[in-house]
Amino acid sequence: MPQSKLSGQAYHQATKHSYLSVQMNPNYVDGSTQPRAFKVYPKFYRRVKLNCNNPTHAFIRLTSAITFEKFYKGETYQLRVNPSAGALYPTEVYVQIRGVEGFLDGIYHLEVENDCLTLIYELIDDGLENYVIPNKRINGFIFLVSCVYYRSSWKYQDRSIRYCLLDSGHHLGAIAASAYLHEKNIQLIFDFDKLSLNADLGFENKEFISSCMISGEAQEKPVRRLRLPIPFVCGTDYFQANQFLEDAYQATSLQPSHQQQLEHPQFNFDRERFSENVWNRRSIRRFLKKSISQEIYWQILQDVQQPIPTKNIEEIEIYSVVHRVEGMLPGLYNGRKLIKAGDFTEKSGYLCINQALARDGAVTLFFVSDYLSYQTAMQIAGLIGQRVYLFSHYWGIDCSGIGAFYDDEAQEFLGTNKDVLYVMTIGK
């Protein structure tokens, strides 16, 4: 397909909401046409059933596990450790395993629906390292997060480029949480040859790699590219192409990120309590207009802003609209600095397309960025969003992500020229 010359900012601009755009396109969908949300390879592929009593199995399973089932209007919805816009779950996880006892060296697909790993490619002297971390050989794990974009574009159309990337960030946060619980060091990689890897994984135009996370020991030993093509398997039961999304992904895959020194976060959570928190996390649909303590609020923000273990970075700035925090003046804050005082509950609700969530919570958080790489910025925002979810729940606070807002009006209210990437609300 021809390569687009548009920038990440241009694609973000093209998917903005305004009061008029929402009124003209309320975006109703027929729920009975929703594409399938689980990717499954043919039955003749070799599988490894994940056993929670095996630490390695437990580590991999918790990166994507189904944690709850609910019934709504006669349908069953399976919720997972990673939140997803509209519970559409466009992300998939693949993991290369090398030099790990009990596993053939190979690339596996994590089959969430059936709690198993499906071997899709056996390694010899080749591997994913050639694409993501050249001249290294990783003994351990290389996780790839991908997006089956039609699961999201079915509902959200062009704006789903945002949701796919935010959901990828959520999923990275879920993998990071499992790594923390299983005491494994990790490194995130956003800048690599995604387009070549998509082609060699046989994804055609129906799925794309968004990011990578490695966990293991690196050796100074190059490996070659995948020596054989991998047969294509579609991640939905039917598919409709969206040229805007495909162009947006290709163009933004070529944008390099800002660079930084690799630094690891130093969390100090009780692991048993944190594990229960990972399994029990939910997106809240209603808040009760109750206050939260200032101590817990600052603790959440402090933990959320710990280092992200990657050399590829885009800075995310967080504005807070404080509605109900004990001992704090209501108003708009940047960190601990009060920008303007006032009761902005109704304004927050309006900016988030009249969603009561943003009005009734204790604090509404706006994530903004002046980025080089749109893909990296959106995924970092999603990863930080996953931290907000998990750390809020750890301290007994509820949380919900909000991807729909009036972009330009939100920027004007915050007094920033940076793009607004994500909104979250915490409260009781």
**Integer Cα distance of 389 and 169 in angstroms:** 12
Say if residue 127 is in the same domain as residue 34. Answer: yes
Q: Which two tokens stand for residue 323?
A: 């509605």
Element spanning 247, H or E: helix 243-253
Residue 316 belongs to some domain of the structure: yes
Say if residue 373 is in the same domain as residue 315. Answer: yes
Say if residue 298 is in the same domain as residue 386. Answer: yes
> For the domain that residue 367 is a member of, what is the CATH number?
3.40.109.10
Say if residue 227 is in the same domain as residue 290. Answer: no
Say if residue 370 is in the same domain as residue 247. Answer: no
Say if residue 245 is in the same domain as residue 294. Answer: no
Residue 274 belongs to some domain of the structure: no
Paired strand residues for 129 = none
pLDDT tens, the chain, 428 aa long = 334 446 789 999 999 999 888 888 777 788 889 999 999 999 999 999 999 999 999 999 999 999 998 876 667 778 999 999 999 999 999 999 999 999 999 999 999 999 999 999 999 999 999 999 999 999 999 999 999 999 999 999 999 999 999 999 999 999 999 999 999 999 999 999 999 999 999 999 999 999 999 999 999 999 999 999 899 999 999 999 999 999 999 999 999 999 999 999 999 999 999 999 999 999 988 999 999 999 999 999 999 999 999 999 999 999 999 999 999 999 999 999 999 999 999 999 999 999 999 999 999 999 999 999 999 999 999 999 999 999 999 999 999 999 999 999 999 999 999 999 999 999 99
* Final residue in a domain of this structure, among 254, 270, 301: 254
Q: Which two tokens stand for residue 161?
A: 């480029």
Range of the domain at 408: 284-427
Which region holds residue 335: left if phi is over 0, alpha if psi is between -120 and 50, else beta?
A: left
What SS3 string covers 220-256?
Answer: CCCCECCCCCCCCCCCCCCCCCCHHHHHHHHHHHCCC
Q: Which two tokens stand for residue 339?
A: 């920008």
Q: Which two tokens stand for residue 64?
A: 């994507």
Q: Which two tokens stand for residue 39?
A: 């990717």
Residue 313 belongs to some domain of the structure: yes
Sign for the CA dihedral angle at 42, 58, 89, 367 comes to: negative
* Final residue in a domain of this structure, among 239, 254, 269: 254
Residue 278 belongs to some domain of the structure: no
Number of domains in the chain: 2
Residue 270 belongs to some domain of the structure: no
Say if residue 155 is in the same domain as residue 214. Answer: yes
Residue 348 belongs to some domain of the structure: yes
- Beta strands in 148-281, from DSSP E residues, in sequence order: 187-189, 208-219, 258-259
**Integer Cα distance of 260 and 268 in angstroms:** 24
Q: Where are the alpha helices (DSSP H) in 15-144?
A: 19-24, 55-61, 129-132
Residue 292 belongs to some domain of the structure: yes
| DSSP assignment letter at 114 | G
Give 3-state DSSP helix, strand, coil % of the chain, rounded to 5. Answer: 35, 25, 40
Nearest in space to 382 (alpha carbons), one of 173, 211, 194, 191:
173
Say if residue 321 is in the same domain as residue 197. Answer: no
Tokens 């939905």 correspond to 236
Q: How far apart are the first and last CA of the chain?
A: 48
Say if residue 61 is in the same domain as residue 184. Answer: yes
**Integer Cα distance of 187 and 263 in angstroms:** 9
Amino acid identity at 31: G
Say if residue 295 is in the same domain as residue 347. Answer: yes
Q: Which two tokens stand for residue 334?
A: 């940047």
* Final residue in a domain of this structure, among 238, 254, 270: 254
Say if residue 227 is in the same domain as residue 340. Answer: no
Residue 335 belongs to some domain of the structure: yes
Say if residue 105 is in the same domain as residue 213. Answer: yes
Q: Which two tokens stand for residue 52?
A: 């929670």
- Beta strands in 260-336, from DSSP E residues, in sequence order: 312-313, 317-322, 331-334
